[in-house]
Every structure is written in structure tokens, then in C-alpha cells.
Amino acid sequence: MNSRITELYSDADMAGLAGRIRRCKVFCWALALAALAACITMIMLTNTANAPRMEGATVAVSTVAGWVVLYVFLFMQTPARRELAHARMLRQEERERVEGAVAVKEERFTIRKSVAVRRVEVTVGDETQRLLVCDSRSKDLVSARPAVLYVCHGYVAAYEVTA
Amino acid sequence: MRAIKNILSQLHTFVLWLLASAIFWGWIFTFVTDTSVEKKITVYCEVPQMEDRLLAAALEEDMPEGLRMIKVHPFSYVMFDMESIGKGDIFIVPAADREELAEYLAPGEGEKIYDTASGEGAAKTYIQYGNEDYYLYLGSGSVHIEDGKAQAVAQRLLAMP
């Protein structure tokens, strides 16, 4: 029988996450600087007649641009950064081998200041070991139906499929 | 759907940003739209209705040298800050209120700016006068009487259609 170990995070996945973080950073800085430039321009164009209109426009531009930056930072960049840190931990730290019937649970939850995960239960005889897998990788685990998992600090880091 | 859920989970952050943005730019605009008494002429008008910003902008079109801006305020503007009214440069007041406001007005008869009998008056494009005569006075606390800038702006105001 042939068996193959598959990492949950490949080099390409790591590069993809790093690229997403970089793109988010560039986008946030570009938008923030463009909004600041627009606000400064509006201040320069302010006179007695148009002052309230210019103030309203400046507040609107900075508010909307700030909301977009906040959204990208909170819901795109930060999760990607946490996932990359999580992936590095999975690839660098020591692992243990766990063998048994693997079941990935539906329930999804987020570990505070970390990644979104799903529960994985590995049953050997009467004993059930409870593990976690990063939500974005859980589909791979479900479709592969592995019998052997490699675990790092309670998180699934890789799996072994027997052909 | 997920985006809305995300936003709702951090709604306080988004609201806080809106408030911070409004307060910060409001503060910045106080510097942009105001200056020291030495660099501005302030006009206070005790009239029923007026286009204060448009009148100020029209007066700014031909400002005496050394001034940065002209501010026009209705009297209600200083309801809670009677100190600033003491530094007013020009006052437009109804005849009946002249005695009450005497301490802020420079001594003298003042210049009649609106005659209720004929309906003739200055700056009617910007000021809606009430049913009484109105007078223009220089301010008793004005720092622009000696340099003649208050008089120059007053003359311009009196000549406005």
C-alpha cells in the first residue's frame, strides 16, 4: 500500500497568504493616503461661502475611506496574518502521529485573536481524541478521509492518505 | 450577507471612526474658517433673516489689505458668548434695540441702513429686514476703527444692493 503525507499548508498556500497580506497593506495605505490628499485639497479650496459644504465633504470622504480601510484590515488582512502565523506554527513545531477514524464536525468557531477552526474527532476503539483544524483547510480533510493525522499543539498539521 | 455580519460584529469601531472623523475635521475647520480679531472684521446683525455666508463672501471680494476674512453672524450666534460680541467691528441693529445694545456700539448716531417707510436699504440681497428702521454702527470694542478697516467694510456694506 502506498501512503502519502499531505501538508494542510503547502509552500504555495503560505506564499498566497503572504501575498494577500501584502496586497491588503498596499491597498489600505494607498486608500488612506488618497483620502488624506483629497481632504487636504478640499481644505485648500475652502472659502467663506463653501465652508460648511467642504467640511461635510471632508468628513464624508475620510469616514467612508476609513470604513473601507477598517473593513479590509479587520476582516481580510488580520485573518490572513493570523492564518499565516498559525500555518508557520504547524509547519515548524513538533508533531505527533494520531491514527483512527477521523470525523470533522460542522460547527465553526473562532479562537480569540487566532483563526476560525472546526472540531475534529479521532476515535480509536472506545477512546475519542478531540482536535482542531483551521476552517479554511477543513474541506481538504473531509474530502481526503484520512486515517492518520499529524498533530501540533492540538491542531491538525498534515494527514496521511493510504492509496 | 457575510460582509454585513462582519460589519455588525464591529459596529462600535465603525461608529467610533465616524465620530472621530467628524470631531477631528470639525476642529481643523475651526482654524480654516476663523482667525484672530486683528485679521478679521466681524459683523453682527440683529435681523429676522439673512444669508450670512453669502454676505461675508460678497464682502470678502474687496477686503482692505491685511485682513484674512470677514465673518457675519446673526445675534443669536453670541447668545451664550457675550464676550465675543464686545469685539464686534460692525453692528446692524433695529432702532428700538439701540439703547439696549449701547455698550457695544461706538458713540454717535450710526448710519441708517434700512428705512421701513420707503423700503429702501443696503444689502437687501442678503438681509431680510423687519418692520422698523435699521442702523449700522461700528463696534465700541473694534480694533479696526483706528486703522480705518471697519469703516471701509461698513462703506462697502452700505453700498451693496
Chain B interface, Cβ < 8 Å to A: 3, 6-7, 10, 13-14, 17-18, 21-22, 24-26, 28-29, 32-33, 53-54, 56-57, 60, 69-71
| Integer Cα distance of B142 and B154 in angstroms | 13
Q: Which of A20-24, A35-39, B79-83, B150-154 has the lowest mean pLDDT?
A: B79-83
Q: Tell me, what DSSP letter sits at residue A40?
A: H
- For the cut 70, the answer to whether the pLDDT of residue A163 exceeds it is no
Domain ranges of chain B: 2-32, 37-158
**Phi, psi of A50, rounded to the nearest 5 degrees:** -105, 10
Q: For strands B49-50 and B127-128, give the pairing.
A: antiparallel
Residue carrying C-alpha cell 435681523:
B47
From B29's Cα to the closest Cα of chain A, the distance in A is: 7
- Is B13 in contact with A75 (Cβ distance < 8 A)? no
pLDDT digits (tens, 9 = 90+) for A106-123: 888 888 778 889 999 999
Q: pLDDT per residue over A43-79, tens digit each?
A: 999 999 899 999 999 999 999 999 999 999 999 999 9
Three-point CA angle B99, B100, B104, nearest 5°:
90
DSSP state of B152: H
Contact B73, B40 (CB under 8 A): no
* pLDDT mean across residues, chain B: 91
* Mean of all residue pLDDT scores within chain A: 91
Judged by DSSP in three states, B129 sits in: coil
pLDDT category at A144 given cuts 50, 70, 90 is confident
pLDDT at A65: 98
Which residues are CB-contacts of A155 (< 8 A; sequence separation ≥ 6)?
A: A86, A89, A90, A117, A131, A132, A133, A134
Pick from B32, B53, B70: which is nearest to A43 by CB?
A: B32
Q: Which of A66-70, A128-132, B34-38 has the highest mean pLDDT?
A: A66-70
Measured CA to CA, the distance from residue B149 to residue B66 in angstroms comes to 9
Cβ pair B125, B161 in contact under 8 A? yes
User: Residue B80's pLDDT band (boundaries 50, 70, 90)?
Assistant: low
- Asked if residues A118 and A105 have their Cβ atoms less than 8 Å apart, the reply is yes
- The answer to which of A14-28, A84-98, B33-47, B64-78 has the lowest mean pLDDT is B64-78
CA distances from A4 to A99, A150, A161, B84 (A): 14, 12, 6, 83
Express each pLDDT in B17-34 by its tens digit. 999 999 999 999 999 999
Model confidence at A96, in pLDDT bands (50, 70, 90)?
very high
Q: What architecture (CATH level 2) is domain A96-162?
A: Beta Barrel (2.40)
Cβ of A63 within 8 Å of Cβ of B21? The answer is yes
Nearest to B17 among A47, A48, A66 (CB): A66
In this predicted structure, the answer to whether residue A81 has a pLDDT above a threshold of 80 is yes
Label residue A138 by pLDDT band (50, 70, 90).
confident
What's the Cα-to-Cα distance from B159 to each of A60, B44, B63, B88, B152, rounded to whole Å? 39, 17, 14, 20, 11
Residue A63 parent element (H or E): helix A51-72
Three-state secondary structure string covering A89-150: HHHHCCCEEEECEEEEEEEEEECCCCCEEEEEEEEECCEEEEEEEEHHHHHHHHHHCCCEEE
Query: ipTM value of the model?
Result: 0.81
**What are the boundaries of each domain within chain A?**
3-92, 96-162
Reported as a single tens digit per residue, the pLDDT across B128-143 is 999 999 999 999 999 9
Portion of chain B with pLDDT greater than 70, in percent: 96
Q: So what's the pLDDT on residue B79? A: 60
Chain B: give the shortest CA distance to residue A74, in Å: 9
Amino acid in position B20: A
Q: C-alpha grid cell for residue A146?
A: 484520512
For strand A101-110 and strand A148-152, is the pairing parallel, antiparallel, or unpaired?
unpaired
Cell for A9? 499548508
pLDDT at B76 over 80: no
Using an 8 Å CB-CB cutoff, list residues of chain A that contact chain B.
39, 43, 46-49, 51-52, 54-55, 58-59, 62-63, 66-67, 70-71, 74-75
Let me know if B123 is exposed, middle or buried by CB neighbors in 10 A (0-12, 13-18, 19+).
buried
Q: pLDDT digit string (tens) for A15-25?
A: 999 999 999 99
The fourth-level CATH superfamily of domain B37-158 is Periplasmic binding protein-like II (3.40.190.10)
Are residues B33 and A59, on separate chains, in Cβ contact within 8 Å?
no
Chain A residues with beta carbon closer than 8 angstroms to that of B51: none
